[in-house]
């Protein structure tokens, strides 16, 4: 029996994880659940799992949940970190850079981590890898479907045996839109993802293809492969979740229905494979599998991410923080879709590189400077419109 700490319990990944736990009561129990401020959903979770410990980042919401449930409800980052230290397995389904500190804490406590929060690795990949070296009993298994696919294809093989990683992308809702129409993109258009139903921020990241950019950086740190050997392939059918090309000419792929419960269960149960009730792919129904090169002119966020990843240091932390502020500003309809890459470029040019050894304090400092700069960029646009 594995006691699970579920961070981001009220979100899309959180909901899928709860379903996986429901299907495997003999293997997983919900030790604790955390979210930002969704009191209603956390009350339901508490009813279903009366013994689960609870935390809400927002202090007022934590007090409200405490009143409703009569339970002790932890609050703030301290609350999240306390939950992480008391479990067997952490599933990090938080959205944004807030997920970084809990991942680091989980590593320091020697926990097994099923990681959906890609922002952790994008902003602090080097710090996370150093922490894993210092705490070899801790282990990260990727939940992100592409990385989980590659994790399965590699089956423990080292980077020296790999020639290229191919990360597949659905291409998002604007794959076939002409560039001239991009200035008219509305929030509704961008939230209309052709394949996956996910939280709003990752849905916007998918529309701008920043999600793929973040995933390239995530893959670099997870699998220790240089950026030159990580390629993106647009694959509209979203059946092949990613591929690994080995040096002997073999190309391994992982296929499956687009259902996040598959990679979630795989990451949680690893190295075992447990049964899952979900749709199976019917091979006779697949007419074709297409793969294209991404259009970097149309989707500048992808190039920006490659550049930031290759530049190293704190560049990816700047990119990640700026993107988070700008994607959220677009969700609030304060800025236009094309302002997202513009604002990221602006922040990358403005925020100076930090020299010397990388540590969490430095990353968090850069993260907050980039956020401030991105917020100023948003305010300026609001003033001018």
Nearer to ligand NDP, 148 or 369 (CB): 148
Q: Is 202 in the site for ligand NDP (CB under 6 A)?
A: yes
Beta carbon nearer to Mg ion, 97 or 117:
117
144 sits near Mg ion (criterion: CB under 5 A):
yes
Place of tokens 């470029």: 345
357 contacts: CB under 8 Å, gap ≥ 6: none
Cis peptide before 290 (omega within 30 of 0): no
Least Å distance between CB 137 and Mg ion? 27
Smallest gap, in angstroms, from Cβ of residue 145 to Mg ion? Answer: 5
Interface map 146-185 toward Mg ion (x if CB under 5 A): x---------------------------------------
Q: Is-cis flag, bond preceding 271, omega within 30?
A: yes
Tell how strand 53-56 and strand 28-35 pair up.
Answer: parallel
Residue 113 CB, shortest distance to Mg ion, in Å, is: 17
Cβ-based nearer residue to ligand NDP, 267 or 346: 267
Q: How many other C-beta atoms lie within 10 A of the C-beta of residue 271?
A: 8
User: Which spans in the chain are helix H?
Assistant: 12-23, 39-48, 59-69, 76-84, 100-108, 119-134, 145-154, 187-191, 200-208, 210-223, 261-269, 300-311, 315-331, 339-350, 360-384
CA distance 72 to 66: 6
The angle subtended at Cα 313 by Cα 308 and Cα 317, nearest 5°, is 60
β pairing state of 230-234 and 73-75: unpaired
Site for Mg ion contains 119 (CB under 5 A): no
- When binding is defined by CB under 6 A, the residue of 4, 5, 12, 150 that contacts ligand NDP is 12
Residue 64 found at the interface with Mg ion (CB under 5 A): no
Q: Which two tokens stand for residue 239?
A: 């059946």
Q: Which stretch binds Mg ion (CB under 5 A): 104-112, 138-146, 151-159, 221-229?
A: 138-146
Query: Which of 46, 95, 103, 314: binder of ligand NDP (CB under 6 A)?
Result: 95
Judged by CB under 6 A, the residue of 94, 100, 122, 190 near ligand NDP is: 94
CA angle, 122 then 128 then 131, to 5°: 175
Q: Which is nearer to ligand NDP, 118 or 346 (CB)?
A: 118
Contact flag: residue 10 with ligand NDP (CB under 6 A):
yes
Torsion of Cα atoms, 104 then 143 then 328 then 204, to 10°: 150
CB of 343 to ligand NDP, least distance (A): 19
**Among ligand NDP, Mg ion, none, what binds residue 367 when CB lies within 5 to 8 Å by partner kind?**
none
Nearer to ligand NDP, 330 or 346 (CB): 330
| Residues lying near Mg ion in the complex (CB under 5 A) | 144-146
| Residues lying near ligand NDP in the complex (CB under 6 A) | 8-14, 34-38, 57, 93-96, 98, 116-119, 144, 196, 198-202, 260
């Amino acid at each position: 029996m594995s006691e699970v700490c579920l961070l981001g319990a009220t979100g899309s990944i959180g909901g899928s994880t709860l379903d996986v736990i429901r299907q495997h009561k003999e293997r997983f129990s919900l030790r604790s659940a955390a979210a930002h401020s969704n009191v209603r959903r956390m009350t339901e979770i508490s009813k279903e799992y009366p013994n689960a410990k609870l935390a809400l980042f927002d202090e007022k919401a934590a007090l409200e949940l405490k009143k409703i449930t009569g339970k002790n409800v932890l609050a703030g980052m301290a609350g999240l970190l306390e939950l992480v230290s008391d479990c067997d397995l952490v599933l990090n389904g938080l959205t944004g850079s807030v997920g970084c500190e809990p991942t680091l804490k989980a590593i320091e406590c020697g926990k097994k981590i099923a990681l959906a929060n890609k922002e952790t690795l994008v902003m602090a990949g080097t710090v996370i890898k150093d922490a894993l070296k210092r705490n070899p009993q801790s282990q990260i298994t990727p939940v992100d479907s592409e990385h989980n696919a590659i994790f399965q294809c590699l089956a423990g093989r080292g980077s020296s045996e790999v020639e290229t990683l191919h990360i597949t992308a659905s291409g998002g809702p604007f794959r076939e839109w002409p560039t001239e129409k991009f200035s008219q993109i509305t929030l509704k258009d961008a939230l209309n993802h052709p394949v996956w139903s996910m939280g709003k921020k990752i849905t916007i990241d998918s529309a701008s293809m920043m999600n793929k950019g973040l995933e390239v950086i995530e893959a670099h740190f997870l699998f220790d492969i240089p950026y030159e050997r990580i390629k993106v392939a647009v694959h509209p059918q979203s059946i092949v979740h990613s591929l690994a090309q080995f040096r002997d000419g073999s190309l391994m792929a992982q296929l499956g229905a687009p259902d996040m419960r598959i990679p979630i269960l795989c990451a949680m149960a690893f190295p075992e494979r447990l049964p899952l009730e979900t749709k199976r792919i019917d091979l006779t129904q697949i007419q074709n599998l297409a793969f294209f090169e991404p259009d970097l002119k149309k989707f500048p966020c992808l190039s920006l991410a490659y550049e930031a990843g290759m530049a190293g240091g704190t560049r990816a932390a700047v990119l990640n923080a700026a993107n988070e502020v700008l994607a959220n500003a677009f969700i609030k309809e304060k800025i236009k879709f094309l302002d997202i890459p513009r604002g990221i470029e602006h922040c990358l040019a403005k925020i100076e590189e930090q020299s010397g050894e990388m540590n969490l304090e430095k990353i968090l400092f850069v993260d907050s400077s980039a956020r401030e700069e991105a917020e100023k960029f948003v305010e300026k646009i609001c003033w001018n419109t």
